[in-house]
Chain A
Amino acid sequence: MPLDKNVKNVLVIGSGPVVIGQAAEFDYSGSQACLALREEGIRSVLLNPNPASIQTDREVADRVYLEPVIPEMIEEIIQRESVDSILASVGGQTALNSVMLLEKSGKLEKLGVRILGTSAASIEAAEDRKLFHDLMNSIGEPVAASATLAERDYLIKVGEVDFFPVIVRSSFSLGGLGGGIVDNGGALVQICEEFFAGHPGATMEIEKSLTGLIELEYEIIRDPSDSCISVCNMENVDPMGIHTGESIVVTPAQTLSDREHNTLRDAAFRIVRAIGIVGACNIQFALDRKSGQYYVVEVNPRTSRSSALASKASGFPIARFSTKIAVGYALSEIMNPVTRNTYAAFEPSMDYVTVKIPRWPFDKFQVDRSIGVQMKSIGEVMGIGRTLEEALMKAIASLDNEISASIRLDVTGQNLIELLSKPSDLRIRAVFEALFRGHETSEISALTGYEKYFIEKFANIVKEANQITIGQIPENLASLKKLGISDRIISKMSGIPELEITRHRISSGLLPSFRTIDTCAGEFKSETPYFYSTYEEQGDYLQPDERKKVLVIGSGPNRIAQGIEFDYCSVKAVRALRKSGYSAMMINSNPETVSTDFDVSDRLFFEPVTLEHVSNVIAMEKPVGVLVQFSGQTGQNLSWGISDLFGESMILGTSPSQIMRVEDRSQFSASLDRLGFRQPDYTSVYNLEDATHKVDSVGLPAIVRSSFVIGGRSMDIIYDRKNLLRRVQDIFSANPRNPAIISRYLENAMELDVDFVSDASKVAICGTMEHIEEAGTHSGDATMVLPASLNHGATEQLRAIVESLAREFKIVGVANLQVAFRDGTFYIIELNARASRTIPIVSKATRTDWISVAVGLITGTTNLSGFADGTPNGVYVKVPVFPFERFSDLDILLGPEMRSTGEGVGSGESRVEALKKAFLITNKRSERPVSVLITVHDMYKESMLPIARFLDQSRILLLATPGTHDFLAKFGIQSTKVYKLEDMREPTISSAISNGNVSVVVNLPGSSPGLRDGFQIRRLALSRGIPLYTNLKLADTFFRSVLSSVAIRPREILDRLQIANS
């Protein structure tokens, strides 16, 4: 099956902004796809509005469109780029759905574009649950009983259901959104009512719940010759009922017998053949071990989170192979790039175990921590070890949250039992705690539904950890290390400082060896330097590398405030190092990302990004230095430990002592005073009483934080005294030794984010982004515009500040400055001596690889003389996307804590065009609004008036709550009165929203504690997918852009270069 020569220009659709259920894994698979196409001489045209991704880099794709994924845009790009084929399988559900939409409308046929790989009919057979169940029944594959409900017949059909409890799903689900287990007809009818009110034309599927059975996944590839392979199987430690994205997943499956395994594998092959998969797919099975019966749960006819995990776990690059297959190749014609000695027609064998654990945002969101059929996690980590214990403990270390420091839980016996039986993020710790307290493994197995085998592995860890005694370095240190127990946990349990344990280990030679992931368990010679550490006597032979080595720290699991933008940064840093002749090594633990693609670096260490594991790599590889500034706070936090162990010179770029001066708020503020820069008024307080006295000298609203926080807890902007004192109290309980800083928050000031590079004397400004929202919104949640609307004088003034700070703190590399601008004065809010979240978008907007420039400055190969500041190529608007629909108990009001999971970018020749595209990404709808519901607290009514007037003039129908209505009437603006629930009068807000009479909601509640009075309204808008604005400036910007007549056009990222030059 040779290459299909008719394929010349392929449109690759990316998954867009990172959301829960669609994260960095599609940056990885999309990047692999583009590179695989390039190898074949096929031009890739990438559509993805996610600026933080690596794949939207011209180094990866041949043509890049950072544009909203909407049918009109896709059509126009297809025509502009003479696209002949479309690859829908590497951009998650987003890409698949949009391609299916185009296919069904007949547009693809009209444009002469064909879908590569799995056909549209096959995709539908896998995705549409009814078709899928029929197909499975026809080939005799067991599926759980199910029924499809529509608006017209659900009442009758629900009555006929005899297979409760059921799982509820809507067609074309996304990460289990809306899924829930229902155990009676009454509850089901209620869900139907709500669902069909919002989605009248849609259908809903119900299915017999298989909760409690063993959940297994198979990653299957089928090629055009009908050859199939099972790349690897995965066993979910959490039984059915927990979304696989929420489960602890072990690769390869550990408890299957050969008969069980091959029964499922055979079934998987029958299924992919019946569906007609060409390329990769993921099949989920539920296995009832007692009866031997299995059920087919789901088939994903595309690359997925699981395929990314399977790729990293097995070393088999699934997206790459599936792309080669999509353009015509058979597995037997594709070389295995890991061994370079064998073919892709092979099933990897693993001589190690991997454990994946999800990373939940519960450290940021105060929400219900229970987990279930709906995904709540935002990222994941993978631990690799020779034993399950080692892999598990390395995954735990990688999580970089509470459990990484302590596997024990301080709870009552009753609570512990509850935590074991009720799934939540705390269950792993509960299992450990129960074992520490002497519970039997079989009891824990029964409570958790985990196979006893796994509990016994937990028990092996506890047994060894129990021998740790307080106050001394454990005598069984070697045994503890063999089980993967981190220095940090040993430190916690022994009371010996972590650094002391690490130092003792290194000096006594208790270091791990490094093993290769070779896809074949040593059977063939492998050339790929993909490593993990393990405590065995011997390691694999590492080819000596004569070049100077530099270790780049990766950013670990995706989490709120640390997403794929830092993967972009670390990957770009690796590329820059390799280009300038260094041997670039990467350490990271995130299986989703591009950085953990073994093709990216000269050596990949798939390891926890912790001081322990970083120092193990340093001790073995002896690099000339380590780059910490490209991986967010994770890298920066390691800098002091690394310099303690290996000397300050081990950290390349801005030195750890300077980073300390920047991070320590007291030192930083003192420096600013000395330099004569303005900063918001502030005061240091040393205890709660001190705070009560001093708070008034600063005034409200205020920002409260510890003077020194490792981990950079974001600024809290607080509007009332009570909350302020509570926050101060929190800070003292967390960091009793450091003073807390209370500083005045500037209202009505323009906020700016400045990214710059520096060699400690000169600087180049990469870009300055202006926040649209005023005070109170976290910079990660703000909508930002590049370029900022500063005049020449202000720009020069800002530049001088940047230059002066760069010199003061001897910034070498890249850094980010946050300032507020009011009445001609800049106030310095924060300096980060590291790459920021905005650098990828700035790099793309200014067509300059700023990470590469920063690396050049760090290694001394780049000179800043004559280096111009960045000039954006048009206007760029960064918009955040939020996970509110995942957390029914999370309020939508934006505040000082970051909530967004990812971002999109809109770009254009004008602000309006860029904004229009940006809002298209977040709102996912392009039609002009017809009616707007306005309900604002008295304190905002004046400032809301211009918006209402503008909407009125634009002939938009206004709906308003009585107070707002009366206020508008005073100014001659007509509106339809709608009532709040408590008014007990019709029409209510909810009936207006439910009846589809509202296109947009503007809701601004008063300050706390009445803050939640619009909670219902906001949730309702959200559940109907109605755009909701809780910030007036943003609302104003939104309406003025979407109602303008400016057209939006797709542009390739380098297109405008020509426009700008001409």
Chain B
Amino acid sequence: MTGYVEILTDPSYRGQIMVFSSPTIANYPWIQEAMESGTIQVSGAITRDSHSLLSGGSSLDSVLSEYQIPGIDLVDTRTLILKIREKGVMKGFISDSDEVPGEFPDPMLRDLVSEVAGNQIMTLESGKDLECLVLDTGAKKSLMRRLSTVANLTIVPFDKFPHSRLNEFDFVFLPNGPGDPSHESLRALRGSISDVLGTKPVIGVCLGHQIISLAAGCSTYKMKYGHRGGNHSVTDGTKTWMTAHNHGYAVSRDSMRGTIMQEKQWDINDSTVEMIGNPDMGILTTQYHPEGAPGPHDMDGFFDTIGTLVRNFNASR
């Protein structure tokens, strides 16, 4: 319902057409500060009742135009969503002509991470006593903002792993990003992480969680229609929390057997692996977005846990 600005600008949605299940969208104006990246990342937006189209004003319609992103309003989105639920995620295209292309290219084959990741080193100083290396695979701004309250961040492009500088950092962080974690473009990164595991704390969120798992020898799979939205409940077997999700891939539980990856939380309804941890190895990853944006902050405690885990791990070395 809320959070259309964050969703449309979330780099993890790169290459996808967004169908909003909430029928009334963009009821409040576009908020520049709520943008999760510098641009609209989705390839298209499909809505049932976009406020801007019916009522005039300068919201969704004009914003999409500004970023040259096609959108269709007044679509029976529920029917479309039920179809996606039954058939799984499908390829689509938006066009103003009646011609249907012979073949739909699969965006998941693209090097999506390169499309969204920054190509320069950036720092986010917050005066904390921890130094964090972020490999940028398309990190959401809000994730970086929240993480920066735990540590000073050095954000480097995902394909420029600074092996020589590793000693400067207390831990490595892998954020969210678009596409398939086993994509060829991420091979080097997976290799680097594999080397770091056990020597330095490695923390990950979403795509980061998947990459770390792959690096630790687990496998990932593509889900039928993934987890999207801010109301997915995860549990540790005792408590449950609502969490924000945006993932089409997940870590295979079976593949974790015999690895250093230990399951800590899972989705209550389909038991997808949602959190992996191994304090002894300095590993903590979540499939969900603890920062919300859009979505709940129930797992905000994750960020405090990072600090504790990193300190404990480094003290024990």
Give residues in A with beta carbon < 8 Å to B: 225-230, 252-262, 265-266, 269, 330-332, 341-343, 345-353, 386-388, 453, 456-457, 459-460, 515, 521-525, 536-538, 540
Contact of B79 among A256, A457, A537 (CB under 8 A): A537
Distance of A477 from chain B, by nearest CB (Å): 17
Q: Are B27 and A225 in contact (CB under 8 A)?
A: no
Q: Are B1 and A252 in contact (CB under 8 A)?
A: yes
30 contacts between A and B (CB under 8 A): A225-B239, A252-B22, A256-B2, A256-B28, A257-B5, A258-B2, A258-B5, A258-B295, A259-B31, A262-B296, A266-B297, A342-B269, A343-B233, A345-B233, A346-B233, A347-B242, A347-B296, A348-B231, A349-B21, A351-B22, A353-B23, A353-B24, A386-B49, A388-B24, A453-B27, A453-B28, A524-B85, A536-B78, A540-B78, A540-B82
Q: Are A387 and B51 in contact (CB under 8 A)?
A: no
For A386, list chain B residues within 8 Å (CB): 23, 48-49, 78
Question: Taking the complex as formed, is B185 at the interface, i.e. its CB lies under 8 A from any CB of chain A?
Answer: no
For B186, list chain A residues within 8 Å (CB): none
For B292, list chain A residues within 8 Å (CB): 258, 262
Question: Taking the complex as formed, is B6 at the interface, i.e. its CB lies under 8 A from any CB of chain A?
Answer: yes
Contact of B54 among A227, A265, A332, A460 (CB under 8 A): A460
Distance of A278 from chain B, by nearest CB (Å): 14
Contact of A257 among B2, B54, B55, B233 (CB under 8 A): B2
Q: Are A330 and B21 in contact (CB under 8 A)?
A: no
Q: Are A346 and B231 in contact (CB under 8 A)?
A: yes
Question: Taking the complex as formed, is B34 at the interface, i.e. its CB lies under 8 A from any CB of chain A?
Answer: yes
Task: Among B1, B6, B54, B235, find the residue whose CB has the most chain A CB atoms closer than 10 A.
Answer: B1
Apart from A229-B233, A332-B240: 13 A-B pairs, beta carbons within 8 A: A258-B3, A258-B292, A261-B1, A262-B2, A266-B296, A266-B297, A343-B233, A345-B268, A349-B229, A386-B23, A453-B28, A536-B78, A538-B79
CA–CA, A257 and B29, complex, Å: 9
For B77, list chain A residues within 8 Å (CB): 351
**Which residue from chain B places its CB closest to the CB of A521 in the assembled complex?**
B21
Distance of B61 from chain A, by nearest CB (Å): 14
Question: Taking the complex as formed, is B260 at the interface, i.e. its CB lies under 8 A from any CB of chain A?
Answer: no
Q: Given A349-B229, A386-B48, A522-B21: A227 and B79 within 8 A (CB)?
A: no
For A460, list chain B residues within 8 Å (CB): 54-55
Q: Are A536 and B76 in contact (CB under 8 A)?
A: yes
Interface digits, B1-14 against A, CB 8 Å rule (1 contact, 0 not)?
A: 11101100000000
Distance of B72 from chain A, by nearest CB (Å): 14
For B239, list chain A residues within 8 Å (CB): 225-227, 330
Question: Taking the complex as formed, is B238 at the interface, i.e. its CB lies under 8 A from any CB of chain A?
Answer: yes
Q: Are B269 and A346 in contact (CB under 8 A)?
A: yes
**Which residue from chain A places its CB closest to the CB of B29 in the assembled complex?**
A257
For A456, list chain B residues within 8 Å (CB): 51, 55, 57
CA–CA, A480 and B82, complex, Å: 26
Contact of A345 among B23, B28, B229, B235 (CB under 8 A): B235
Q: Given A227-B240, A386-B48, A523-B85: A459 and B23 within 8 A (CB)?
A: no
Interface digits, B73-86 against A, CB 8 Å rule (1 contact, 0 not)?
A: 00011110110010
Total A-B Cβ pairs within 8 A: 145
Q: Given A252-B1, A265-B296: A453 and B82 within 8 A (CB)?
A: no
Distance of A452 from chain B, by nearest CB (Å): 9
CA–CA, A261 and B230, complex, Å: 12
Q: Which chain B residues numbered 264 to 296 have a C-beta less than 8 Å away from chain A? A: 268-269, 292-296
Q: Given A332-B235, A522-B78: A387 and B242 within 8 A (CB)?
A: no
Q: Are A341 and B231 in contact (CB under 8 A)?
A: no
Q: Given A346-B233, A387-B48: A538 and B1 within 8 A (CB)?
A: no
Q: Given A254-B24, A537-B76: A522 and B81 within 8 A (CB)?
A: yes
Question: Taking the complex as formed, is B241 at the interface, i.e. its CB lies under 8 A from any CB of chain A?
Answer: yes
**Which residue from chain A places its CB closest to the CB of B300 in the assembled complex?**
A266
Contact of A258 among B6, B51, B79, B233 (CB under 8 A): B6
Q: Given A266-B297, A345-B268, A521-B81: A538 and B76 within 8 A (CB)?
A: yes
Contact of B49 among A229, A269, A387 (CB under 8 A): A387
For A262, list chain B residues within 8 Å (CB): 2, 292, 294-297
Q: Are B295 and A343 in contact (CB under 8 A)?
A: no
**Which residue from chain B places its CB closest to the CB of A227 in the assembled complex?**
B240
For A269, list chain B residues within 8 Å (CB): 298
Task: Among B5, B6, B31, B79, find the residue whose CB has the most chain A CB atoms closer than 10 A.
Answer: B79
Distance of B198 from chain A, by nearest CB (Å): 33
For B22, list chain A residues within 8 Å (CB): 252, 349-351, 521
Task: Among B3, B28, B85, find the residue whose CB has the most chain A CB atoms closer than 10 A.
Answer: B28
Distance of B17 from chain A, by nearest CB (Å): 17
For A259, list chain B residues within 8 Å (CB): 31, 34
CA–CA, A257 and B34, complex, Å: 9
For B231, list chain A residues within 8 Å (CB): 346-349
Q: Are B235 and A459 in contact (CB under 8 A)?
A: no
CA–CA, A269 and B238, complex, Å: 18
Q: Are A536 and B269 in contact (CB under 8 A)?
A: no
For B268, list chain A residues within 8 Å (CB): 332, 342-343, 345-346
Task: Among B34, B49, B77, find the residue whose CB has the most chain A CB atoms closer than 10 A.
Answer: B49
Distance of A516 from chain B, by nearest CB (Å): 9
For B3, list chain A residues within 8 Å (CB): 257-258
Task: Among B22, B81, B240, B268, find the residue whose CB has the most chain A CB atoms closer than 10 A.
Answer: B240
Q: Given A227-B239, A348-B231: A258 and B48 within 8 A (CB)?
A: no
**Which residue from chain B places its CB closest to the CB of A233 in the assembled complex?**
B1
For B31, list chain A residues within 8 Å (CB): 257, 259
Q: Are A351 and B78 in contact (CB under 8 A)?
A: yes
CA–CA, A695 and B183, complex, Å: 94
Contact of B269 among A255, A330, A341 (CB under 8 A): A341
Distance of A431 from chain B, by nearest CB (Å): 15
CA–CA, A522 and B31, complex, Å: 28
Q: Given A262-B292, A262-B297, A349-B1: A387 and B24 within 8 A (CB)?
A: yes
Distance of A288 from chain B, by nearest CB (Å): 15
Interface digits, B214-246 against A, CB 8 Å rule (1 contact, 0 not)?
A: 000000000000000111010100111110000
CA–CA, A650 and B85, complex, Å: 39
Distance of B45 from chain A, by nearest CB (Å): 16
**Which residue from chain B places its CB closest to the CB of A265 in the assembled complex?**
B296
A-B pairs, top 9 by smallest CB distance, nearest first, are: A258-B3, A258-B294, A347-B231, A345-B240, A521-B21, A258-B2, A456-B55, A522-B81, A227-B240
CA–CA, A540 and B81, complex, Å: 11
For A347, list chain B residues within 8 Å (CB): 230-231, 233, 242, 296
For A525, list chain B residues within 8 Å (CB): 85
Q: Are A522 and B269 in contact (CB under 8 A)?
A: no
Q: Are A258 and B293 in contact (CB under 8 A)?
A: yes
For B2, list chain A residues within 8 Å (CB): 256-258, 260-262
CA–CA, A331 and B238, complex, Å: 10
Q: Are A332 and B78 in contact (CB under 8 A)?
A: no
CA–CA, A643 and B68, complex, Å: 56
For B27, list chain A residues within 8 Å (CB): 254-255, 453
CA–CA, A457 and B76, complex, Å: 19
Q: Given A262-B295, A262-B297, A343-B269: A515 and B78 within 8 A (CB)?
A: yes
Distance of A638 from chain B, by nearest CB (Å): 30
CA–CA, A958 and B31, complex, Å: 72
Contact of B23 among A341, A342, A351, A457 (CB under 8 A): A351
For B241, list chain A residues within 8 Å (CB): 227
Distance of B239 from chain A, by nearest CB (Å): 5
CA–CA, A525 and B79, complex, Å: 13
**Which residue from chain B places its CB closest to the CB of A225 in the assembled complex?**
B239
For A265, list chain B residues within 8 Å (CB): 296-297
For B238, list chain A residues within 8 Å (CB): 225, 330
**Which residue from chain B places its CB closest to the CB of A269 in the assembled complex?**
B298
Distance of B96 from chain A, by nearest CB (Å): 20
CA–CA, A290 and B310, complex, Å: 40
Contact of B242 among A229, A257, A523 (CB under 8 A): A229
**Which residue from chain B places its CB closest to the CB of A459 in the assembled complex?**
B55
**Which residue from chain B places its CB closest to the CB of A252 in the assembled complex?**
B1
